[in-house]
Amino acid sequence: MLLLLQAAAAGNAASHPLSGTVAEWLWLLPLLPLLGFVINGGLSLNSARFGPADPNTPGHHPHSEAAAEAPAISHAEQAGAVGDDHHVVKRHRWAGVVGIVGPGVLILSFALALGMFLRMTGAPMETPFVQTYFSWMATGDLSIDAAFQLDQLSMIMVLVITGVGSLIHVFSVGYMRDDPGYPRYFAYLNLFVFFMLVLVLGANYPVLFVGWEGVGLCSYLLIGFWFSDKANADAGKKAFIVNRIGDFGLLVAMFLLFANLGVLDFIGVNERALQLQAGGALVTAICLFMFLGCAGKSAQIPLYVWLPDAMAGPTPVSALIHAATMVTAGVYLIARSAVLFSLSPAASLTVATTGAITALFAATIGLKQWDIKKVLAYSTISQLGYMFIGVGVGAYVSGVFHLVTHSFFKALLFLGAGSVIHAMHAAYHQTHSREDAQDMRNIGGFRRFLPVTWVLMWLATLAIAGIPPFAGFFSKDEILASVFERAHGSTLATATWLGIPGSVLLYIIYGIGLLSALLTAVYMTRMMLYTFHGPTRTGAEEEKHLHEAPWVMTAPLVVLGVLSVIGGWLNLPEVITDLIPLGPRETLGHWLEPVVGAATTRISAGEAHASATVEEILIGVAVLVAVAGILFAWARLKPARLVRKKDAVAEEGFERIVAEKYFVDEAYDRAIVTPTYAISRNVLWRVIDNGLIDGFLVNGSAAVARGFGWMGSRLQTGNTGTYAWVLVIGVVAMLGAFTLR
């Protein structure tokens, strides 16, 4: 079959610079993880014990009050993630094979992607390299091919997915080693990478949508990986259902595209989109529906609520799916549809405004979270908001740039948190403690026990806070600078949004961006202080068991640490290279030029960059804000005063509102979930299902049949005389009919 696929692909795009090169193996990129999924899935079926540890296993803590209070994560990870010295470790019998196959296919995929990348750097290409495999659906005017395309944007995404993905897979080898569901875990993870690659390689919206749904499925499966705990299964369902709302938007956008443009492949849409009236209602509707899909997948207001709950999954899953790759699919989709968004200033401003509000909103919640993974979850939502500000103001390069750097430092932060949680679990496990292993009030002072993790996480924290010269500084600064630039002159600045002039709105977004940057620095410093500094609150007995993770877990951290430091070199701004000759400037910008260049130009309306002085001031302000945030947190927060979770008093007033996440979940519960239940039970079930369907349609049709049957049976009197009468009357009638005719 592989040969067939390649033979089918060989005929296409003969004149393209990439044809006949290693890029012809494009189909192998997603196929390798799929192969891993098949192998690991097969091995997972071949196991005596399936699923999470059962309560009789030695490595399982019984349910506790602590677990009941913080239901989702802590307990579940205790059940699975931790090895054990004095208990018999129940490793999966195929753990060795799985540990090689799982990361192996990803590393192979990454090597292949690297080969293609090197080819692409040598062969400048203006059009995407498209491989068509077979006609997927062809009915009437609709003709959709199963086709992949490789262009500069896909290439960046593929490198991030396979590169960061490989590191996280390697980390998982150590982190999940002693979980009874080890092969199942890697099967899901491989399947996720397969769908993610389909998403970014698809040459048309329907193929992208297959990947889009597929990653949603894998996200669901991995959030509920320890599904025997109901909270985890519920979190998975929540993610799935909330994403359905977004997917509806994406579907409608696709229908509108097809109905009005007649095509769904990216090349065709980009060509024909220019026929649409710029700024018209139609293109705005298409973009807004598409953005609804992005808001679901990328956890933006109002559909962000699933992402914090998604932390119920294993920590490497949070790193890969819910920080580095899947949740950035929305940013990718907007960059991919840049032509459409550039035609609609209203939709673009909506994207940017939503991103800004989300960035600020999530950052404030992050300030008061105690669960280390929840802090990172809200931080992810906030950073995704930044990316949407970037792509919303038509600075597609900066959005993608932040996507890439964020995948480095956020993956590092999550894996570092995983390393901390791993140590906590190991310690609690030895002492049979039932405390919450993810609550920062129970951690503290870990720099003494996990020095490598400590250093690396500080690097990532500085990167996300925007301290030069770390990766996040360049990408975040570029987004803020782009907003400022657009406010000065662009199609966005001259447009109005809900009655607000575009330029005013952009200045507000810039201000919100700065404020979020400040809060980012504060909550990240807070997390680092409470986790790694001050006294250790884990407990005297537990402290003896705290230790750094094995090399298989720290090595990926080191690589990500290096990337978090040097990631900014991908796209050095001109203003900095003029001051300090660090290297070639705007590499990523030039790289993505063929994909988003035209759209960016259309939005910026040909306005030149802001003057160097203005840009220098902007950078100065951004750095100042980040430093101020870190210093404020450092001066204000006193880890020494923290008490353990069980002794902590509840927050009051506004602090409580923030700690309770503004009660958004509760509001959604009241406004949507409860009414839905009520309508389902009282109307849909009692009236429609019981009354109409069961009562009228099902039993009603039965009653009609029974009525006719009763009437028919009255004819059968069993009395021979009656039959004779009927017979005679019939004969007479027939005779009469024949004679009188």
Instruction: Please name the residues in contact with 516: beta carbons below 8 A apart, sequence gap of 6 or more.
Output: 356, 359, 360, 363, 382, 385, 386
CB of 710 to other proteins, least distance (A): 9
97 C-beta neighbours (distance < 10 Å), count: 16
Q: How far is the CB of 676 from other proteins (least distance, A)?
A: 50
For other proteins, give the closer residue by CB, 15 or 713: 713
DSSP code string of 160-215: HHHHHHHHHHHHHHHHTTT-TTHHHHHHHHHHHHHHHHHHHHBSBHHHHHHHHHHH
Q: How far is the CB of 712 from other proteins (least distance, A)?
A: 7
Compare residues 683 and 731 and give the one whose CB is closer to other proteins.
Answer: 731
Q: How many CA atoms lie within 13 A of 206 on its CB side?
A: 15
Compute the least distance from the CB of residue 736 to other proteins, in Å.
15
Q: How far is the CB of 718 from other proteins (least distance, A)?
A: 3
Pick between residue 613 and residue 716 the one whose CB is nearest to other proteins. Answer: 716
Cα–Cα nearest to 296, from 190, 384, 231, 393: 384
Question: Which residue lies nearer to other proteins by CB, 697 or 728?
Answer: 728
Q: What is the dihedral of CA 139, 140, 142, 146, to 10 degrees?
A: 30
Q: 275 or 719: whose CB is closer to other proteins?
A: 719
Cβ contact 514:480 at 8 Å: yes
As measured in angstroms, the least distance from the Cβ of 702 to other proteins is 19
For other proteins, give the closer residue by CB, 696 or 725: 725
Q: What's the min distance (Å) between Cβ of 703 and other proteins?
A: 18
User: Shortest distance, CB of residue 717 to other proteins, whole angstroms?
Assistant: 6
Q: What angle do CA 291, 296, 301 make, to 5 degrees?
A: 80
Least Cβ distance, residue 714 to other proteins (angstroms): 7
CA distances (Å), origin 204, targets 207, 213, 258, 284:
6, 14, 11, 20
* 356/508 Cα distance (integer angstroms): 9
Cβ burial of 566 (10 Å; 0-12, 13-18, 19+) is middle
Measured in residues, the chain has a length of 741
Residue whose CB is less far from other proteins, 275 or 720: 720
Pick between residue 680 and residue 717 the one whose CB is nearest to other proteins: 717
Minimum distance of other proteins from residue 701's CB (angstroms): 21
Whichever of 14 and 715 has its CB closer to other proteins, that residue is: 715
Cβ contact 242:669 at 8 Å: no
Q: What's the closest the beta carbon of residue 715 comes to other proteins, in angstroms?
A: 7
Closer CB to other proteins, residue 139 or residue 719?
A: 719
Q: How far is the CB of 722 from other proteins (least distance, A)?
A: 9
Q: DSSP label at 344?
A: -
Strands 496-497 and 500-501: antiparallel
How far, in Å, CA of 651 to CA of 648, rounded? 9
Torsion of CA 618, 623, 624, 629, to 10 degrees: 130
* Shortest spacing between CB 729 and other proteins, in angstroms: 10
Q: Which residues, at least 6 apart from 482, have a Cβ–Cβ distance to it below 8 Å?
A: 390, 393, 394, 395, 398
How many whole angstroms separate alpha carbon 236 and alpha carbon 247?
16
Q: Measured from the CB atom, is 15 or 716 closer to other proteins?
A: 716
Residue 149, SS3? strand
Q: How far is the CB of 711 from other proteins (least distance, A)?
A: 10
Nearer to other proteins, 15 or 719 (CB): 719
Determine contact, residues 422/372, Cβ cutoff 8 Å: no
Q: Which residues bind other proteins (CB under 8 A)?
A: 712-721, 724-725, 728
Closest separation in Å from C-beta 733 to other proteins:
14
Task: At 388, list the tokens.
Answer: 């949407």
Q: How far is the CB of 724 from other proteins (least distance, A)?
A: 5
Question: First vs last Cα of the chain: how many Å apart?
Answer: 74
Nearer to other proteins, 662 or 708 (CB): 708
Amino acid present at 451: P
Q: Could you write out the DSSP letters of every residue in 87-128?
A: SPP---TTHHHHHHHHHHHHHHHHHHHHHHHHHHHHS--SS-
Of 415, 422, 495, the C-alpha closest to 459 is 415
In terms of CB distance, is 432 or 714 closer to other proteins? 714
Q: Which 8-state DSSP code applies to residue 1? A: -
Looking at the Cβ atoms of 55 and 736, the one nearer to other proteins is 736
641 vs 714 by CB, closer to other proteins: 714
Amino acid (1-letter code) at residue 533: H
Contact 242, 665 (CB under 8 A): no
Q: Are 543 and 536 in contact (CB under 8 A)?
A: yes
CA distance to 203, 364, 561, 625, 640, per residue, from 529 (Å): 46, 18, 19, 19, 10
